[in-house]
Amino acid sequence: MTLKALAQSLGITLKYLFSKPVTVPYPDAPVALMPRFHGRHVLTRHPNGLEKCIGCSLCAAACPAYAIYVEPAENDPEHPVSAGERYAKVYEINMLRCIFCGLCEEACPTGAIVLGYDFEMADYQYSDLIYGKEDMLVDVVGTKPQRREAKMTGKAVKPGYVVPYVRPELEGFKAPTEGGKR
Amino acid sequence: MNYPLDPYWMAALKALLVVVGLLTAFAFMTLIERRLLARFQIRMGPNRVGPLGLFQPIADAIKSIFKEDLVVERADKVIFVLAPLIGVVFALLAFGAIPFGPPGSFFGFQPWVLNLDLGLLYLFAVSEMAIYGIFLAGWASGSKYSLLGSLRSSASLISYELGLGIALLSPVLLVGSLNLNDIVNWQQEHGWLALYAFPAFLVYMIAALAEAARTPFDLPEAEQELVGGYHTEYSSIKWALFQMTEYIHFITASALIPTLFLGGWTMPFWNVPYLWMFLKIAFFLFFFIWIRATWFRLRYDQLLRFGWGFLFPVALVWFLVTALVVALDLPRSYLLYLSLATLLVLLGAVMYSPKPVRKGGGA
C-alpha cells in the first residue's frame, strides 16, 4: 500500500460521486427487462383475430408444476373461436404454481401461449391468482391486481417495466418499449 | 486580546444558538453523509421521506425517541445512563470558543460564545473529556464487545493524542497565544498557519480524524468486528446521543482545522467572515466523508504504531524546528521554506510507487 495508491483511490471514488447512480427507483421508474423475460403468459391470436390455441393440452402435459388446466370444446364452424377444429373453452394457469420456466411455450404446436413481461401479480386471494383466458389474451393489458387498481382509480394500467423491443412471438402484445411512448 | 464582553442574556442566547445549531447540523449531517456515501457508491441514498429525503432526520428522530429503551441487566445502571450524557455535553461545550467573524459582527455582539485566553487548552481538554462518555459506556455495559470498543478508544486516544497535542504547539509558539481570536488575527496578518507549519497541519488533520473516530480510525465502533463497539448495548435515544456526540465532534474538528491552520473566518481575498468559515467547515466535512467512502479501517495495532511511530515524531520534530526559529528569533520565512520542502517531499512520496514485491515463490 503506497501513498500513491491511497491518492488514486480518492480519485476513483470522486469519479463515482459524479457518475449517475445505478439504482432503479423501481415503483417510480420502470425496470428495464430483456426482450425474452419470462413473465405473465399471453395467449396470442392470428392476424385475422382467431385464437391460436387449439385446446390440445400439450402445455398442460409439459408443465412441470401442473399449473395449467385446459378444457377444450368443438369450434362452431360458423363462428370459430380458434383456427383449428377445437378451441380452449377453459384455459387456466395457476400463477402460484407456475415457475415461469417456459416449457409450455416450447410444447405449444401453434405458438399460442407465450410468456410475456408482466410480473406484478401479487394478490390477496388464491382464487385471484388463477388466471383465465380473459386475463391472458393478447389484448389484455396488465395483471389482475393492476387492472383492478386501474378500474378503481379510473387511471390506465401502469406497467412497471420497459423492454427494448417486443419479441415477434408475442405478436400483437403491447408493451412499453424504451424510448417509445409509455 | 480583550474584547468587550457581551451581556449575559446575549451570551446565553448565543450558547443556545450554538447548541440548537449543532443539533440541527448533526441531524442533517446524518442525512448528508448517507446521501454522499450513497453517491460515492453509485447508489441513491435515502430519498423517500419528503422532497429529496430532506425530512429523513425528522423521521429518524421520531423513530429513535419512540423505540424501546433497554437497560441491560448486567449493566451498571447509573453510569450506563450517564455515559451518553457525558459524551454529548462535552462535545457540545467545545464549539463555543470558535470565532466566526471579526469582533462585534454578530448584530453588534461578538461572534463567539467564549473568548478564553486559554481557548485552545480549553478546547483540547473538553473534547478529550468526551472520551469518558465512550469509555464509561463500554465499561458500564457489561458486555465484552463494548468493553473491547472502549478499551480501543482509550488506547488509541493515548497514541494519537500525543501527536495532536504537539502538532498544536507549533502554531501556538508562532502566535504566542492560546486564544483562538489571536490565532485567527495572526493569520490574517501573516498568512495561514498551514503555510508555516505544514507538517503540523497534516498531523493535526489526521489526528482530528482519529479524535472524531472517523473512518480510517473508527476502531472503537468497528461495526464488523465489535458489533458497534461501545454502543452495542445501547438503544433508542441513548444510542442517538452517541451518534450526536460523534457527529458534533466531527463538526467541531472540521471547524477547528480551518480556525487553527487555514485562517479561520478570514480570507486573503473577498473577505466575507461567516461565509468563508462555513465554506471551510463544509469543505472539511465533505473531505472527511470522502475519506470514509474511500479508505479502509486500520487495524488496532496499526493505529497505535502509526500514532507513536509517525504522528508523534513528525509533530515533535516540527515543534523543535519551530521552537528553534522562535528561540533564535530567526526570520519566520524559514518555516515557510521548510513547509514547502515537506510539501514537496509529500508530493514525491505520493508520486513514488515502488514495484510491488511478490511474496513467496514464483519466478
Round to whole Å and give the CA distance between B286 and B33: 8
Same domain, residue pair B251 and B228: yes
A2 Cβ under 8 Å from any chain B Cβ: yes
Residues of B within 8 A of A13 (CB-CB) are 40, 290, 293-294
Same domain, residue pair B136 and B44: no
Same domain, residue pair B114 and B38: no
Tens of pLDDT, residue by residue over B6-29, are 778 888 888 888 889 888 888 888
Asked which of B37, B66, B95 is the last residue of a domain, the reply is: B66
Tens of pLDDT, residue by residue over B74-132, are 878 888 888 888 888 888 888 888 888 777 777 777 787 778 888 888 888 888 787 88
Residues linked to residue B200 through DSSP beta bridges, in sequence order: none
B279: Cβ contacts below 8 Å, ≥ 6 apart: none
Average pLDDT, chain B: 83
Same domain, residue pair B112 and B185: yes
In a domain, B363, yes or no: no
The residue behind cell 508562532 is: B174
Nearest to B92 by CA among B26, B150, B6: B26
Inter-chain residue contact A16 with B40, CB threshold 8 Å: yes
In a domain, B111, yes or no: yes
Please provide the DSSP assignment of B309-327 as one string. Answer: IIIHHHHHHHHHHHHHHHH
Same domain, residue pair B58 and B99: no
Asked which of B66, B89, B123 is the last residue of a domain, the reply is: B66
User: In terms of residue numbers, what domain contains B240?
Assistant: 72-348
Contact indicator for B209, B297 with CB cutoff of 8 Å? no
Please provide the DSSP assignment of A3-70 as one string. Answer: HHHHHHHHHHHHHHHTSPP----TTTSPEE--TT---SEEE-B-TTS-BS-----HHHHH-TT--EEE
Same domain, residue pair B54 and B149: no
Tens of pLDDT, residue by residue over B278-317, are 888 999 999 999 998 888 887 878 888 888 888 899 889 9
Domain count, chain B: 2
Residue of A nearest to B42 (CA): A21
In a domain, B362, yes or no: no
Q: How many CB pairs (< 8 A) connect A and B?
A: 48
Residue B228, sorted as left (phi over 0), alpha (psi -120 to 50) or beta, turns out to be left
Residue of A nearest to B39 (CA): A17
pLDDT of B362 strictly over 70: no
User: Which of A2, A18, A20, A26 to substitute to test the interface with B, most B CBs within 10 Å?
Assistant: A2
Q: Which of residues 19-38 of A touch B (CB under 8 A)?
A: 19-23, 25
Of the listed ranges A93-97, B116-120, B222-226, the least confidently predicted one is B222-226
Same domain, residue pair B119 and B178: yes
Same domain, residue pair B98 and B151: yes
Tens of pLDDT, residue by residue over A23-44, are 888 888 889 898 899 999 999 9
Nearest to A106 by CA among A16, A173, A169: A169
SS3 B188: helix
Same domain, residue pair B226 and B342: yes
In a domain, B2, yes or no: no
Asked which of B34, B66, B98 is the last residue of a domain, the reply is: B66
Nearest to B43 among A10, A13, A21 (CB): A21
SS3 A91: strand
pLDDT of B227 strictly over 70: no
Same domain, residue pair B107 and B35: no
- Cell numbers at B22, concatenated: 449543532
pLDDT of A181 strictly over 50: no
In a domain, B11, yes or no: no
B354 Cβ under 8 Å from any chain A Cβ: yes
pTM of the model: 0.81
Nearest to A17 by CA among B55, B212, B32, B347: B32
A148: Cβ contacts below 8 Å, ≥ 6 apart: none
Same domain, residue pair B311 and B181: yes
Round to whole Å and give the CA distance between B168 and B172: 6
Residue of A nearest to B296 (CA): A6
Tens of pLDDT, residue by residue over B131-144, are 888 888 888 888 88
In a domain, B358, yes or no: no
In a domain, B54, yes or no: yes
In a domain, B3, yes or no: no
B352 Cβ under 8 Å from any chain A Cβ: yes
Residue of A nearest to B355 (CA): A2
Tens of pLDDT, residue by residue over B182-192, are 888 888 888 88
Inter-chain residue contact A4 with B353, CB threshold 8 Å: yes
Contact indicator for B98, B256 with CB cutoff of 8 Å? yes
Residues of B within 8 A of A20 (CB-CB) are 42
Same domain, residue pair B182 and B293: yes
